[in-house]
Amino acid sequence: MLASFSVVPLGVGEELKTQVAEIVRLIQQSGLRHKLGAMQTTIEGEPDQVFALIRRCHDRMRELAPRVLTSITIDDRRGATGRLEGKVADVEAVLRTPVNHD
């Protein structure tokens, strides 16, 4: 399963890097394969692991901010693995050129 998600703190001011760094630390400690993007992070793993990590991230941000918006997009394809890089590689193969990506 792939899941792209963002956890956005509200009510903590304009600079969010400190709160976001806390979430990235949780993601790194999870051991799941992941890619940090400018506006979201994509993780790959078994559904229970993915959902548990997103919940931990949301809960941690809730400790840091009075309000939190969490957005999740899930790609759950039976038997698919290695899709974190594979999906990009598939598009690059069609285009026959590398693309700029997270």
Domains of the chain by start residue, with CATH: 2-95 (3.30.70.930)
Distance (Å, rounded) from C-alpha 99 to C-alpha 16? 28
pLDDT band at residue 87 under the 50/70/90 scheme:
confident
Q: Are 45 and 32 in contact (CB under 8 A)?
A: yes
Q: How far apart are CA 80 and CA 44, in angstroms?
A: 10
pTM of the model: 0.89
Digit-coded pLDDT (tens) for 26-73: 999 999 999 999 999 999 999 999 999 999 999 999 999 999 999 999
Residue 25 has a pLDDT of: 98
Residue 102 in this model has a pLDDT that exceeds 80: no
